[in-house]
Copies of this chain bind each other. A is one copy, B any other.
Amino acid sequence: MLFPLFAIGEKMKGYMIFTGTELLLGKTLNTNSQFLTSIFAEIGIDLHKIVTVGDNAKRIIEVLNEVPSDVDVVFLNGGLGPTEDDLTKEALLEFLNLDAVYHQPTLDKILKRVGKKGLSGDLKVAEIPEGSIAFYNDAGVAPGSVVAKNGKHYFLTPGPPEELSSLMKNKIVPYLKENMIGTEKIYSRTLKFAGIGESKAEEKIRDLIKASNPSVAPTIKEGEIHFRVTAKGEDCKKLEVMVDEVSDKIIERLEDYYFGVDDESLESLVAEKLVRKGLKIAIAESCTGGLLSNTFTNIPGSSEFFDRAYITYSNMAKIEELNVNKSTLEQYGAVSENTAIEMAEGVFAKTNVDLAISITGIAGPSGGTIDKPVGLVYIAFKYNKQISVVTRIFSGNRLEIKNKVVKFILFEILRKLKED
């Protein structure tokens, strides 16, 4: 029998158990941990502890025994597959003294897929603890499930990240939110910014970060800063208004650096804008060496707006492909405003695009001088027949500098396209 997860005003307490010998041997990076903990944080479950153990039923039971009495939700991840090493469910059944029953939709799926003979091992995947609620796995086979006993809810979830992700987003998070009914609801939104440092951004909204409802939590992601605004209460409409109000304040104070919300990425927003406006782009990359092109072409359907790029690493390539003047390279150097301009003009002249971009700089670790240090980058844009150049010094190692340059350019394009 399941019971309501928590009463209003109380904070639900959580405990996470990851099972998998591969995690103890360093064979696999545990990305599920960050994924699940960030969901807990968003939903407002106060996580007590994370424990990782091997595929060993005795050890798993040992951990289940250690869970403190005031914990409400125990999340187990991994070990639901068909092999002998998959023992998480078996351990939970033994610990709770429960039997297993078949989850019919999963059983049907397995039987349909493989026929009926000789797969007793596989069939155990369709088992769930008696009295539990099952979550059908659209992305794989092993279902998720939740069973309530000893005043706690025990969740079993599959290990493969894509299965876990699908199950959490489509089934378990809605279930958790639903079952907080009569209690708190949660509404949250992530605001994304670029072109500004973490501490500078936080300084401007310190009062909002210190407030508790809505709460504002920063996360950093290579060249971007995200603020997650979360409101808690009983009335969904009210929560949305609360999040709207704080979001507006944040965006107002950091207006110059704001680019999107939630699942929006810088590159997807740029791509969307280019497609909507029917614009084509071409690029000349030197120090970023193909990273900007690669970022664009990671987007499905990028052929709609991405025409071509020249990765002109050598001086000869700059001269031959982009008609950069030899005298410009000699007089100002390959890393200079003049070279950047001539590269962009070269791309624009050779192609039939609306926006031409060029990048030249010093990604390091060597090649820097006092006048032109590692991280110095010139970026030229030719758009609406106008040329503009931006000069910036980026910090970090070679790969970090390349990444920051690309984020910066994406943000600049977005700004340019907004102005129209």
What residues make up the interface of A, taking CB atoms closer than 8 Å to B?
23-31, 33-41, 47-54, 59, 63, 66, 217, 219, 283, 285, 288-294, 296-298, 300-303, 306-314, 316-317, 320-321, 350-352, 363-366, 398-399, 402
Chain B residues with CB under 8 Å of A47's CB are: 24-25, 54
Residues of B within 8 A of A320 (CB): 350-351
6 A–B contacts, CB within 8 A, in A order: A25-B47, A51-B51, A289-B294, A289-B296, A307-B314, A308-B317
Q: With a CB–CB cut-off of 8 A, which chain B residues contact A34?
A: 26, 28-30
Q: In the bound complex, do residue B366 and residue A301 qualify as a contact, i.e. CB atoms below 8 Å apart?
A: yes
Q: In the complex, A285 Cα to B219 Cα: how many Å?
A: 35
Q: In the assembly, what is the distance between CA of A290 and CA of B406, in Å? A: 13
- Most B CB contacts (10 A, CB to CB) among A28, A50, A321 go to A50
Whether B38 contacts A26 by the Cβ 8 Å rule is: yes
Number of copies of this chain in the oligomer?
2
Give chain B nearest CB distance to A404 CB in angstroms.
14
Q: Do the beta carbons of B37 and A23 come within 8 Å of each other?
A: yes
> In the complex, A54 Cα to B365 Cα: how many Å?
36
CB–CB A24/B52 < 8 A: no
Chain B residue numbers with a CB within 8 Å of A317 are 307-308, 351
- Asked whether B27 lies within 8 Å of A30 as measured between CB atoms, the reply is no
Q: B53–A52 contact, CB under 8 A?
A: no
Q: How far is the CB of A81 from chain B (nearest CB, A)?
A: 16
The distance in angstroms between the C-alpha atoms of A307 and B318, with both chains bound, is 10
Q: Chain B residues with Cβ under 8 A from A321's Cβ?
A: 308
Instruction: Determine whether the beta carbon of A39 is less than 8 Å from that of B52.
Output: no
B294 touches A294 (CB 8 A): yes
User: Are the C-beta atoms of A27 and B219 separated by less than 8 Å?
Assistant: yes
Q: How far is the CB of A98 from chain B (nearest CB, A)?
A: 24
How far, in angstroms, from A369 to B3 measured CA to CA in the complex? 51
Q: Which residue of chain B has its CB nearest to the CB of A66?
A: B66
Q: Tell which of B33, B38, B311, B352 touches A311, judged by Cβ atoms closer than 8 Å.
A: B311
Which residues of chain B come closer than 8 Å to A285, judged between CB atoms? 290, 293
**CB nearest to A294 among chain B residues:** B290
Partner of A49, one of B37, B48, B51, B313: B51
- Chain B nearest Cβ from A290, distance in angstroms: 3
- 5 pairs of A and B residues whose beta carbons are closest in the complex: A289-B297, A26-B38, A290-B293, A290-B290, A308-B317
Known contacts: A26-B35, A29-B34, A311-B309. The answer to whether A366 contacts B290 by CB under 8 A is no
Bound CA–CA A66/B66 (angstroms): 9
Instruction: Kindly state the separation between the CA atoms of A171 and B310 in the bound complex, as whole angstroms.
Output: 45
Q: Kindly state the separation between the CA atoms of A67 and B29 in the bound complex, as whole angstroms.
A: 24
Question: Shortest distance in angstroms between A4's beta carbon and chain B's nearest beta carbon?
Answer: 24
> Are B298 and A399 neighbours in the complex by a CB distance under 8 Å?
yes
Cα–Cα distance between A291 and B47 once the two chains are bound (Å): 39
Given A23-B37, A36-B26, A294-B289, the answer on whether A303 and B313 have CB atoms closer than 8 Å is yes
Contacts of A52 in B (CB 8 A): 33, 49-52
Q: How far in angstroms is the closest Cβ of chain B from A226?
A: 10
